[in-house]
Structure 1
Amino acid sequence: MRELKFLNQFFWKYRWRLLLGIVFICVSNYFRVLQPQVIREALDLVIEQVNSYRMYDGFDLGVEYFGVLSYTLMLFGGLVLLLALLMGFFLYLTRQTIIVMSRLIEYDLREVIFDHYQELSLDFYKRNNTGDLMSRITEDVNKVRMYLGPAVMYCANLLSTIALVVVSMLAVSPTLTLYTLIPLPFLAISIYYVSNIIHTRSTFIQQQLSKLTSVAQEVFSGIRVVKSYVRERQQVNYFAQESEQYKEMSMNLAKVDAWFFPLMVFMVGASTIITVYVGGLQVVAGNISAGNIAEFVIYVNMLTWPVTAIGWIASIVQQAAASQKRINEFLETKTSISDPAPDDKHQLRGDITFEKVSFVYPDTGIRAIDKVDFQLKSGEKLAIIGRTGSGKTTVADLLLRMYDVTEGRILVDGKDIREQGLANLRRQIGYVPQDVFLFSDNIHNNIAFGASHDPSREEVEQFARYAAVYDDIAGLTLGFDTMVGERGVTLSGGQKQRVSIARALIKHPEIVILDDCLSAVDTNTEQQILGYFNEALADKTAIIITHRIYGHLKFDKIIVLEDGGIAEMGTHEELIKNGGYYSEIVERQMTEEEEA
């Protein structure tokens, strides 16, 4: 139960529903316990009056006597039916309170997990796969909900039923009650033993289910690669292998339940036999009536489900504990990127300074940036050029505070970004990543996603023109209402890049970071986009990370990165004179353009 303590806050939040539900259970079971007592009175009445009826048999008085007896038994039957209806009504109210409470907590728990997921930094997502994240917010939460609702309800039902039944039994015959309850200690020992087995196996089953989810998610996301390399059969075999392991684990757990429940039913049946035998001796001795035996048999049957449910409840609790432990592992994970000023809303000017910035990736130990030092004033344009793996994208990640620097500091408007409001900083930076991601939604919503307000269709279309993608979208059957598919799979690489550019620009950002976002567009389209950049970004600070030189866009400063450090820095003319890597790129690009 240690792992489940986290859920106590939700029980407190919905305490009135919970308490009301427990009251309804107790009232329902009270009416249920009254039914055997009414049946006992009816049976004793029949036994007592049957001899009297035989005395008047054949006489007119006998017919009248039989009518009175029949009417009395009908009243008893009607009373039993009334008690059953009352019991059922309060049982309905129980489900409307406790089960509804569990659904509300399920909703809250998923919200808490999802919110926490979004707060965690980028390094967390690099350490954990998407399938495992999905499994914990779906399958594990489902297991926990079974504890929050059905387990709590049946546990309250178990305790109240046993309390009311045992009190009623003791009031009739303490001796018979003692004999009837003899099998229960053996049942408790069995439950303790099996619960430990269930807990252990449930943990491994949930881990294997996470692995299955991860495998499926990766295959479906990379289906193009799988098909292009003709690896469908290999992936099917691997998934079947993992599924077989999951099946074996689940079967082993099912075998435990298969032996456990019949054992409990057997013990409850033994209680019934003991009741009839010992109760018969008590009737002969004159200590109880024959109706009491019937009453006790009904009581034993009433205990059958609650006692049987002990094992089921224990199984649910153990599985919920295993799942909540997995959920707690992530909820207890702290983000490495803290937000010092969540309410910060001040306007950025766009001055950027890197002071001896170094960064080492925490998981791999790779030094991506080494003592990078430069200054960019508001409205200036910077190009960052370098070979693959030189640290270009890392500069963008650090400026967005996806990671915090290992050494040195980054200043925006003269203030360390670690002291600025995280949301405010990112809100005023328009970022187009190298790996373009589009949501499984229509094109309009994908572009509008970047805006801090609810943009009109006209505004979305205007920024699509700025990104030179309007004509492409207009040529689609549904235009801006076209669904782009998962990760934008229905669009070409160039179209996805331009939609992503429109999404970044509609923010009206003070700082724009473009990470090699024109690699998949043709020269004419590139000129259209850069023409807008010259106009719209005239007073904006812009950082363009690229492998090529854009002759249509004038840069105030150009940095050439090599092995994480600055190899060259200056204007276009200065770097051409140096005759270094930048000069080689320009010469090679000019040759390619002439040949084309």
Structure 2
Amino acid sequence: MAKKKQSPVHSLSESRALYLRLLSYVRPYWKVIALSLLATAITAATEPMFPALLKPLLDEGFAAAGNTRNGIFDDPVWIPLGIVGVFILRGIFNYFSSYGFAWVSQRVITDIREQMYARMVRLPASYFQNHASSVPMTKIAYDVGGVAGAATTVAVTVIKDSMTVIGLLGWLLWLNWQLTLVCFALIPVVAFVVKSFSGRLRQASRDSQKGMSHMLQILQESTLCNRVIKIFGGEAQEIARFSESNQAQRRYSMRASVAAAATTPITQLFAAVAVAVVVYVALQQSSSGTTTVGSFVSFITAMLMLLAPLKHLADVNAPLQRGLAAAESVFQLLDEELEEDSGTVNPDQVAGRIDFRHVSFRYPNAERDALADVSLSVAPGQTIALVGQSGGGKSTLATLVPRFYAPTSGQILLDGLDLQSYSLAGLRRHIGYVSQEVLLFNDTIAANIAYGAKRDASMDEIRAAARAANALEFIEAQPQGFDTLIGENGVRLSGGQRQRLAIARALLKNAPILILDEATSALDNESERAVQAALDTLMAGRTTLVIAHRLSTIEHADQIVVLNRGRVVEQGNHAELLAKEGAYAALYRNQLATGEPL
């Protein structure tokens, strides 16, 4: 079922809760954070040193020119050395601060991505049915970067620049508290500007993330369907579709840029007004002899140095809002409900008896049941073929056995025990699966056969499985044999070769229950014979559910179940159903006459 669209996070309390949850990923690295903060504090503390050096330089250094110098001005080299020393000190601690926070940022990105991926692979099948594959891909690959920026970079900017502002304001207060009050008047103005643009920035960031997901979906489809695009002349259509998505992404980015860019000139305008007022008041004080040249220059220098950290604090709102919007997206995935796995039974072996008792199932938002009151039994080692028109419920029935979905009503029993009583791992360990749409990994042939729980299988075991699947001959003909990379989803292999690799994978698993979902329907006759021979080997002695459109797979089944609109309309073996002259006989004659699949 599609998840209800979450309302935008606007309130301060919700934003605070979101940010605190984000910071929980930083907490494990608090030691590095503490050291980096210490380096940041030292860096910030050096900021007032430069304007502080200007006051004695102007009042006692230049003013004493031609007179006898006292103290540090006996040797003019001390002031330049002090200036260089301040910047060396700042550079050293700024390096350690930047490195430390960058290290934490990358660790946070890595941790969140691993947690998101671990969550994604355990999500129920309904999630992937209701979401394009680009949605989790964008969240994991793209959104996490914004999250890390909000968790570390924003925090660093706020802490470092706040310390700098405090240090400079402290120096300004010590120099001239009257002029400093003018600077204080700037702070609430900047805060108001930042708050005014926060909502717009957050919404623009959300739209940008959705646009990126849509763009990635188009790219993915264009890559996978490149032959369809070429043969049907769809280049112009796809270019137009990508251009529309690309332009939408540009508009989203520009909305965020407008909101972010507007804060800087507005902040600088008020800062300029503050500087003008300060200059005016300082000139008045100078004429009355209450301030010196050194004090004035030091004050102006410190005030101008104050503008940069204030600007950074104003600009930090943009990455903060992008980060919070990204955090919403990331936490949506992390908060998705996992597959229900409340079962505790984890048997070492099962006999393989399967009973469907009045099973009904309806997909979320569907108008009718995909299965309605289905009851049938499969004895251990028995082969049942599921046939019927497309949409009859064959694949749905098969997907209920490994608990990709749960029945809306009724029960499915394995060896007399409800499937829900088994843990998912305990159940699926005993089920093999081969489908028409073979799914392979961009890895070696050996790695695709020895996958998952069998990844540590010996080479002899892998070779034996390949031989039983009639795949050994073509594998050994490959350039690197079992070490040959097969490309994305086995693109370098033929359909029959990919199918036989999937069968070899199921043979190596050696599970007592087998599901074959139209495993030969898309193959040519020669490939079908090779695959069918491998399937005969695979099915021997196993409880097998076969969804098949070819007579070669159906005729020798122990039981044939005919499904129509989710209901069992006939059941029996091949000869019995032909003798009934019912639905199966009609399907059978139609295939003989037309050659079309059942």
1:566-581 matches, cutoff 5 A: 566-581=568-583
Q: Which moved more, 1:551-560 or 1:282-291?
A: 551-560
How many Å separate the matches in 2 of 1:149 and 1:90?
17
Alpha-carbon contact 1:354-1:410 (below 8 Å) kept: yes
1:487 to 483, 486, 489: 489
Of all paired residues, the percent bearing the same amino acid is 28
1:33-432 matches, cutoff 5 A: 33-52=48-67, 72-335=75-338, 337-341=339-343, 344=346, 346-432=348-434
One-letter amino acid matched to 1:72: D
Alpha-carbon contact 2:555-2:574 (below 8 Å) kept: no
How many Å separate the matches in 2 of 1:551 and 1:400?
22
How many Å separate the matches in 1 of 2:73 and 2:173?
31
Q: Structure 1, unaligned stretches of length 5 or more?
A: 54-64
How many Å separate the matches in 1 of 2:129 and 2:553?
37
How many Å separate the matches in 1 of 2:530 and 2:193?
76
Deviations 1:321-349 (A, max 9, x none): 222222233333223x3111479353222
Alpha-carbon contact 1:516-1:545 (below 8 Å) kept: yes
Alpha-carbon contact 2:436-2:522 (below 8 Å) kept: no
How far did residue 140 of structure 1 move? 1.6
For 1:547, what is the secondary structure of its paired residue?
coil
One-letter amino acid matched to 2:124: S
Alpha-carbon contact 2:383-2:559 (below 8 Å) kept: yes
1:540 to 520, 539, 542: 542
How many Å separate the matches in 2 of 1:242 and 1:301?
44
For 1:32, what is the secondary structure of its paired residue?
coil
One-letter amino acid matched to 1:579: E
Deviations 1:372-394 (A, max 9, x none): 11112222222222222221111
For 1:550, what is the secondary structure of its paired residue?
helix
How many Å separate the matches in 2 of 1:306 and 1:69?
31
Q: Which has the larger radius of gyration?
A: 1
1:526-537 matches, cutoff 5 A: 526=528, 529-531=531-533, 534=536, 537=539
How far did residue 91 of structure 1 move? 1.5
How far did residue 404 of structure 1 move? 0.4
Residues 162 and 290 of structure 1: CA distance in aligned 2, closer, same or farther (over 3 Å): same
**Would you say how many aligned residue pairs link Structure 1 and Structure 2?**
580
How far did residue 274 of structure 1 move? 3.7
Alpha-carbon contact 1:146-1:316 (below 8 Å) kept: yes
Q: State whether structure 2 residue 32 is matched by structure 1 residue 29.
A: no
How many Å separate the matches in 1 of 2:331 and 2:416?
39
Q: State whether structure 2 residue 34 is matched by structure 1 residue 19.
A: yes
How far did residue 174 of structure 1 move? 0.8
Alpha-carbon contact 2:468-2:537 (below 8 Å) kept: no
Deviations 1:192-220 (A, max 9, x none): 21223222322222222222222222222
Task: Output the TM-score relative to the length of structure 1.
Answer: 0.90
Alpha-carbon contact 2:147-2:324 (below 8 Å) kept: yes
One-letter amino acid matched to 1:328: F
For 1:25, what is the secondary structure of its paired residue?
helix
Deviations 1:33-65 (A, max 9, x none): 223223322222214422525xxxxxxxxxxx6
How far did residue 240 of structure 1 move? 1.0
One-letter amino acid matched to 2:171: S
Residues 395 and 566 of structure 1: CA distance in aligned 2, closer, same or farther (over 3 Å): same
Residues 216 and 47 of structure 1: CA distance in aligned 2, closer, same or farther (over 3 Å): same
Deviations 1:432-462 (A, max 9, x none): 1232222222322222225534123333232
Alpha-carbon contact 2:264-2:311 (below 8 Å) kept: yes
One-letter amino acid matched to 2:131: N
For 1:506, what is the secondary structure of its paired residue?
helix
Residues 568 and 455 of structure 1: CA distance in aligned 2, closer, same or farther (over 3 Å): same
How far did residue 533 of structure 1 move? 5.1
Q: Structure 2, unaligned stretches of length 5 or more?
A: 1-14
Alpha-carbon contact 2:384-2:558 (below 8 Å) kept: yes
For 2:370, what is the secondary structure of its paired residue?
strand
Deviations 1:200-253 (A, max 9, x none): 322222222222222222222222222221111011012112222222232233
Alpha-carbon contact 1:379-1:540 (below 8 Å) kept: yes
Q: Which moved more, 1:153-162 or 1:376-385?
A: 376-385
How many Å separate the matches in 1 of 2:417 and 2:520?
32
How many Å separate the matches in 1 of 2:421 and 2:222?
41
How far did residue 409 of structure 1 move? 0.7
For 1:567, what is the secondary structure of its paired residue?
strand
Deviations 1:523-558 (A, max 9, x none): 566555555555564432222221123379843322
1:7 to 22, 30, 34: 22
For 2:306, what is the secondary structure of its paired residue?
helix
For 2:113, what is the secondary structure of its paired residue?
helix
How far did residue 128 of structure 1 move? 1.0
How many Å separate the matches in 2 of 1:87 and 1:71?
27
One-letter amino acid matched to 2:46: F
Residues 304 and 344 of structure 1: CA distance in aligned 2, closer, same or farther (over 3 Å): farther
Alpha-carbon contact 2:499-2:531 (below 8 Å) kept: no
Alpha-carbon contact 1:24-1:93 (below 8 Å) kept: yes
Counterpart of 2:11 in structure 1 is none
Alpha-carbon contact 1:497-1:520 (below 8 Å) kept: no
How far did residue 75 of structure 1 move? 1.4
How far did residue 184 of structure 1 move? 3.3
For 1:340, what is the secondary structure of its paired residue?
coil
For 1:119, what is the secondary structure of its paired residue?
coil
One-letter amino acid matched to 1:230: G
Counterpart of 2:567 in structure 1 is 565
Alpha-carbon contact 1:183-1:270 (below 8 Å) kept: no
Deviations 1:13-51 (A, max 9, x none): 223333332222112211232232233222222144225
Alpha-carbon contact 1:35-1:83 (below 8 Å) kept: yes
One-letter amino acid matched to 1:107: T
Alpha-carbon contact 1:275-1:296 (below 8 Å) kept: no
Residues 196 and 566 of structure 1: CA distance in aligned 2, closer, same or farther (over 3 Å): closer
Residues 277 and 592 of structure 1: CA distance in aligned 2, closer, same or farther (over 3 Å): closer
How far did residue 429 of structure 1 move? 0.6
How many Å separate the matches in 2 of 1:535 and 1:438?
21
How many Å separate the matches in 2 of 1:372 and 1:529?
30
Alpha-carbon contact 2:438-2:499 (below 8 Å) kept: yes
Alpha-carbon contact 1:466-1:502 (below 8 Å) kept: yes
Task: Output the TM-score relative to the length of structure 2.
Answer: 0.90
One-letter amino acid matched to 2:267: M
RMSD: 2.7
Residues 195 and 292 of structure 1: CA distance in aligned 2, closer, same or farther (over 3 Å): same
Alpha-carbon contact 1:32-1:84 (below 8 Å) kept: no
How many Å separate the matches in 1 of 2:157 and 2:569?
70
One-letter amino acid matched to 2:193: S
